[in-house]
Structure 1
Amino acid sequence: MSMEQISLEVKLVDSLATPICMLDTIIESSWNGPPLYVDFNRLYLVDIHELGETAFAARTDSRGEASLKNDPRIRQYTKDLQLMKLATRTGSKKYVAGLAECIEKDSPVSPERKMKWKQQMERAVGLFYLCKNGRFETLKERPLKDDAMRWCVQKVILLPKLYVIYNSRLDIEGRRKVQIKTKDRILLLQYKYYYGQESNNDLILWDENTHVDINLAQSQC
């Protein structure tokens, strides 16, 4: 059965009990690929605005200490698809490609599915983007609007197949550099003044000897 034919069960993680259920699902599944790409008939949307630190600190009884924050396997298997795309791309490696470009050029799903995905994403633009008279704060409103939930689902629904494509193209050196630069991008996300809509976030220091220095960045603010 193709991804286009599967009806997803979508769960909004907005209470402590649900992330524990999510962790059990991850841990009990195969670890052959990225651990969050499991059980294609279910998708968890983690409500970080409501749960805060609890979302990362929740533990599952089946493995005692397992949590999104402290389980070493989860940190080890963090994959950055934009960097995987960058590593397999010829030419300039200064900027990473956006999700829409990755889907359009590399996703193995049908052209019809790509068009449907694009249309669904474009409908959400009016909800969230200021340039289209939208408000990104819509994602913080509770209860979460159906349109907002659908947008969140569409942001990730086609990523598993992209991972398979990019992973098959990576050589040993590419995997090593992706791992190094993934750690840099995670550090950037933890930066106090990080703003997710900043276009400069697409700028990548691909030279393996150049790394993000958060302490230096903070001292310059």
Structure 2
Amino acid sequence: MATTAVITTTSVSSENNIEAITEALAKTEIDDIPLTGLINSPAAIATLVDNLYDQPTTTIPSLFLDVEGVNLSRHGSISILQIFVRPQNRTYLVDVHTLGNSAFVTPGKACKKTLKDLLESDTIPKVFFDVRNDSDALFDKFKIDLAGIQDLQLMELATRAFNRRHVNGLSRCIDRHCPITSAERQDWKRTKEEGLKLFAPEKGGSYEVFNERPLPEKIRLYCVQDVQFLARLWSYYYAKMSEKWKVRVLAASKDRVSLSQTPGFNGKGQHKALGPKEWLYY
């Protein structure tokens, strides 16, 4: 951790907690936040939130996000929140496993807003790839009602001229559509495979690896890579969509968030491979 002051939720007594955090905030600058290391202190969260609120909110989104966890859903837990900031070309990894609710309710020093406020803002566009399980977990664990969401998986589906019955996974989208060099493609495949071996049960891994601290380097690289190509895919799909389809994607993304919050939502199964039913008739 590269922050100048590191405070965990158990490192200070409750009566001194606010005073200690305030002092730490005064010492933490944006350059102290690691480029890709874990953000695991309230001081670093506050600085990150100020930084995120400084990003432009024009047509092109600035923020691309993903969530990793153990059985990521209302039935599991959240380990890491990845945030790629497009204007800075920087990825931040928020250590939700360590910070818990502090990751989302610690206010910025300048903006006085929290990460929860940002995630729930409908005026700050945020891009996820298949937001459903991420939303399910965030809503159940931290009462975060996502808004302003653009679902990249739905954007890909919207660019098709036919066969909109089934959605594609992120790996297929990157492989088929992402503008990357040959060297980047090789690095992507290697990093992906090394990460899968550590966390995918079918490859002998365990999702509990996302909760190991220090975070294994191969998992850290996997988390960084998981969001770094989302911005390129967004630009590719956005350029191919008509205005009508852009509106449909926003509406369907909102519907996915609402669905994920219903009591009967099931985040696993073949039904998740189906696109919005009404899109079959457009």
Q: Distance in 2 between matches of 1:203 and 1:49?
A: 31
Corresponding position of 2:62:
35
Matching of residues 85-104 of structure 1 within 5 Å? 85-104=156-175
With over 3 angstroms needed to count, the CA separation of the structure-2 counterparts of 1:193 and 1:135, relative to structure 1, is farther
SS at match of 1:97: coil
Corresponding position of 1:24:
50
**Deviation, structure 1 residue 148:** 1.2
With over 3 angstroms needed to count, the CA separation of the structure-2 counterparts of 1:180 and 1:154, relative to structure 1, is same
With over 3 angstroms needed to count, the CA separation of the structure-2 counterparts of 1:177 and 1:206, relative to structure 1, is farther
Corresponding position of 1:211:
none
Q: Distance in 1 between matches of 2:214 and 2:264?
A: 28
- Unaligned segments of structure 1, at least 5 residues: 1-7, 209-221
Q: Distance in 2 between matches of 1:13 and 1:189?
A: 27
SS at match of 1:131: helix
Corresponding position of 2:214:
143
Corresponding position of 2:118:
68
Please, what TM-score do these two structures have when normalized by structure 2?
0.63
SS at match of 2:88: coil
Q: Distance in 2 between matches of 1:204 and 1:46?
A: 30
**Deviation, structure 1 residue 89:** 1.4
In 1, are the aligned partners of 2:121 and 2:148 still within 8 Å (CA)?
Answer: no
**Deviation, structure 1 residue 132:** 0.7
**Deviation, structure 1 residue 91:** 2.0
With over 3 angstroms needed to count, the CA separation of the structure-2 counterparts of 1:44 and 1:18, relative to structure 1, is same
**Deviation, structure 1 residue 191:** 5.1
**Deviation, structure 1 residue 63:** 2.5
Structure number with higher strand proportion: 2
- Unaligned segments of structure 2, at least 5 residues: 1-33, 64-84, 125-145
Q: Distance in 2 between matches of 1:25 and 1:165?
A: 26
**Deviation, structure 1 residue 73:** 2.2
Identity of matched residues, %: 30
**Deviation, structure 1 residue 102:** 0.9
**Deviation, structure 1 residue 28:** 1.4
In 1, are the aligned partners of 2:147 and 2:254 still within 8 Å (CA)?
Answer: no
Residue in structure 2 matching 1:46, options 83, 89, 94: 94
**Deviation, structure 1 residue 114:** 1.4
SS at match of 1:164: helix
- Aligned: 1:108 with 2:179: yes
Q: Distance in 2 between matches of 1:109 and 1:87?
A: 22
